[in-house]
Amino acid sequence: MNLATISLAYLKARSLNTLLNILLLALGVATIVLLLLATTQLDNRMRRDAQGIDLVVGAKGSPMQVILSSIYALDVPTGNIPYTQAQEIAKHRTVKKAIPLALGDSYKGARIVGTTHAYLDHYGARLAAGKRWEKVLEAVIGADVAARLNLKLGDRFHGSHGMGESGEAHEEHPYVVVGILQPSGTVLDRLVICSVESVWAMHASHHEIKDISDIANRLKDEEKEYTALLIQYASPIAAAMLPRYVNNNSAMQAASPAYETARLFSIIGVGVDVLRGFALVLVFSAGLSVFIALYNALNERRYDLAVMRTLGARPRTLLLLLLFEGLLLALIGGVLGIVLGHALAEGLGHALRAAQQVSVTGWTWVKEEWWVLALAAGVGIVAALIPAWRAYRTDIAGTLARG
Amino acid sequence: MFSLRNVQHAYDGKPVLTVPEWQARQGEQWLMLGPSGSGKTTLLHVLAGILRPTSGQVTVADQDMMALSSSATDRFRGKNIGIVLQRLHLIDSLTVMRNLLLAQYMAGEAQDAARVRDVLASLDMADKADARPHELSHGQAQRVAVARAVVNKPKLLLADEPTSNLDDARCVQVLDLLLAQAKACGATLVIATHDQRIKSRVANHYELKGAA
């Protein structure tokens, strides 16, 4: 028997009230933890996908749309850019690395990205099976795509025009799966990746070309198009020169991933702040509820407290007993809330995966969660302060003389 | 064992207790008698160190109670004084076993389940160790209250009106219980009562006259 077991016995004795307080606190904590997990993972993922990309060159339009479509595979592209002008930029002296992307097709919700092997290297992609593409219409698929669509090496599939599932199918030219990537936690997981030429080949019929095996040579340069260029600067000076060069000299525009994602987060941030405020209100009301419960319980327990004093308890023992009860309640609620928050994050992750969005998992621990637990414990202790003080001041003789 | 000299207590300047002199030796058994309102409970609280009288000398087990700090008084009471309250006040959230362990814990003594079982057995309550107080009859609850008071082998055992509202047979049982348990641990026993039925059973009487 110690303060913990006594506290626990009292919590059990009024279990309905205890349950209510624990639930209230758990809901608040769960909301905070869910927000924490979602924003941290989203932030990490966004950062990882944009890592090493200083600038994206795309067609004129919303710069955020250019970033979302080319780096994160989230929005639709703004349009295409001419091959020859893109080549000029790629060869610019301030450019260290330029990865072309040809977008526009998809297969059952997975985007098809025509690019070069440099794109795979940029994200450090590793093959789980097969090899990289070598010929036109050979494709490498991301781990999520392979799992979701149950695609294996050698499988053939038809891409369709557009990002939805209802686009017109490119019936004449099936892709063949030659490689499956290991999960990387990047945008690659959600993509079907092939050569730029493969994407061009899909649209070869517009140019009345029948034999697509040599498509790059058969298309005239002015018939070739990219959707975007992912660019890494050669030196910091490029940041001052290249965007202006792109914006002034072409029908293209330069969009900065760092700037646009910061802008995106400041927009999302408002919603996150509102939710966080709501969660704090929940935690605060849980604290208030714990306070009221302990305060009311004092009335029923005044004889118990007086009796403990007659048995030799010092005032500070009773103080600690009440504080401990608040703390215990808060810790149970806090731990339950954290478990609940992780379960919600995992559930949300499943829903997002089904919708082909950036996914979230509950199977991770963010170090800020310790602070959430500390917050819950703090709320429990603060809620118990006044009841504990009253227990400390118990007038034994007066209480016992009255009954 | 204990001695009171010129003890006076007043609430808001109104005297409620006057004890010119009272001395008892270790192992003696006493009745503290007096009409209701004469200050029996107050005097019991003074003896227990629950209440510090306005003036006078109080010595219990060679300890000058007036000289002890408040937290030292709590410790002293836990180790040396057992109290059976009139309304018993067992803690209902805890089992009988734990009510008794609580007495050991709060007194700062080692928790000794074997000792608790012995005490319960001596009161014929061994089978109720895991019961909750509200599951007990009044008689059983009273025995648990006595057990709680003697579990730490006190030097002084105090009981406040233990036989009021009991029929004659029960009254005798409870008195026997208190006398036997006090004897078993060698404690000095003081029973505060206005119950005339038990007068003849206890040799030493102290009559409270009421406040002057």
Per-residue pLDDT reduced to its tens digit, B66-81: 999 999 999 999 999 9
Least Cα separation, residue A328 to chain B (angstroms) = 17
Of A2, A316, A401, the CB nearest to B105: A2
Of B71, B83, B91, the CB nearest to A314: B71
Q: Is B28 on the interface with A (CB under 8 A)?
A: no
Give the mutation candidate from A1, A3, A11, A305 for the B interface (greatest B CB count, under 10 A): A1
Q: What is the pLDDT of residue A204?
A: 72
Domain range list for chain A: 3-46+264-402, 55-255
Q: Is B89 on the interface with A (CB under 8 A)?
A: yes
Residues A324 and A4: beta-carbon distance below 8 Å: yes
Q: What is the pLDDT of residue B142?
A: 94
Give the mutation candidate from B89, B112, B130 for the A interface (greatest A CB count, under 10 A): B89
Q: Tokens standing for B61?
A: 């087990």
Q: Tokens standing for A344?
A: 């919600």
Asked if the Cβ–Cβ distance from A310 to B71 is below 8 Å, we say: no
pLDDT in tens, A11-60: 999 899 999 999 999 999 999 999 999 888 888 888 899 999 999 999 99
Q: Which long-range contacts (CB under 8 A, 24 or more apart) does A396-402 make?
A: A396/A306, A396/A309, A396/A310, A396/B45, A396/B50, A397/B42, A397/B45, A397/B50, A397/B51, A399/A302, A399/A303, A399/A305, A399/A306, A400/A303, A400/A306, A400/A310, A400/B41, A400/B45, A400/B50, A400/B85, A400/B89, A401/B41, A401/B42, A401/B45
Least Cα separation, residue A333 to chain B (angstroms) = 22
**For residue B122, is pLDDT > 70?**
yes
Asked if the Cβ–Cβ distance from A304 to B105 is below 8 Å, we say: no
By percentage, how much of chain A surpasses pLDDT 70?
Answer: 96
Q: What is the pLDDT of residue B210?
A: 64
Work out the pLDDT band at A403, boundaries 50, 70, 90.
low
Between A21-25, A90-94, A199-203, the lowest mean confidence (pLDDT) is in A199-203
Coil/strand/helix, residue A213: coil
* Set of chain A residues whose Cβ sits within 8 Å of the Cβ of B108: 312
- What's the alpha-carbon Rg for chain B, to the nearest Å? 17
pLDDT in tens, A222-251: 889 999 999 999 998 899 899 999 988 778
Give the mutation candidate from B106, B130, B132, B156 for the A interface (greatest A CB count, under 10 A): B106
Work out the pLDDT band at A165, boundaries 50, 70, 90.
low
Report CA torsion sign: A309, A311, A312, A316: negative
| pLDDT (average), residues A95-124 | 94
Work out the pLDDT band at B175, boundaries 50, 70, 90.
very high
The C-alpha torsion from A113 through A114 and A119 to A125, rounded to 10°, is 60
Of A6, A311, A401, the CB nearest to B107: A311
Pairing state of beta strands A55-59 and A228-233? Answer: antiparallel
Residues B49 and B77: beta-carbon distance below 8 Å: yes
* Set of chain B residues whose Cβ sits within 8 Å of the Cβ of A10: 93
CB pairs under 8 A between A and B: 76
Between A218-222, A259-263, B187-191, the lowest mean confidence (pLDDT) is in A218-222
Q: Is B10 on the interface with A (CB under 8 A)?
A: no
Asked if the Cβ–Cβ distance from B105 to A401 is below 8 Å, we say: no
Q: How far apart, in whole angstroms, are the C-alpha atoms of residue A213 and residue A219? A: 12
Q: Is B88 on the interface with A (CB under 8 A)?
A: no
Q: How far apart, in whole angstroms, are the C-alpha atoms of residue B185 and residue B162? A: 19
Least Cα separation, residue B92 to chain A (angstroms) = 8
Work out the pLDDT band at A167, boundaries 50, 70, 90.
low
Q: How far apart, in whole angstroms, are the C-alpha atoms of residue B152 and residue B158? A: 13
Of A13, A303, A397, the CB nearest to B89: A303
Least Cα separation, residue B50 to chain A (angstroms) = 6
Q: How far apart, in whole angstroms, are the C-alpha atoms of residue A101 and residue A226? A: 6
Element of type H or E holding A96: strand A95-107
Q: What is the pLDDT of residue A64?
A: 94
Is B2-207 a CATH 1.10.10.60 domain?
no
Asked if the Cβ–Cβ distance from A311 to B92 is below 8 Å, we say: no
* Set of chain A residues whose Cβ sits within 8 Å of the Cβ of B93: 9-10, 12-13, 304
Q: What is the pLDDT of residue A151?
A: 94
| pLDDT (average), residues B124-144 | 94
Give the mutation candidate from B102, B111, B132 for the A interface (greatest A CB count, under 10 A): B102
Pairing state of beta strands B14-24 and B81-84? Answer: unpaired
Asked if the Cβ–Cβ distance from B77 to A310 is below 8 Å, we say: yes
pLDDT, mean over chain A: 90
Work out the pLDDT band at B211, boundaries 50, 70, 90.
low
DSSP calls for A320-389:
HHHHHHHHHHHHHHHHHHHHHHHHHHHHHHHHHHHTTS----SS---THHHHHHHHHHHHHHHHHHHHHH
| pLDDT (average), residues A291-319 | 92
* Set of chain B residues whose Cβ sits within 8 Å of the Cβ of A12: 93
Q: What is the pLDDT of residue A272?
A: 86
DSSP 8-state secondary structure symbol assigned to residue A174: -
Where on the phi/psi map is residue A61: left (φ > 0), alpha (ψ -120 to 50), or beta?
A: left
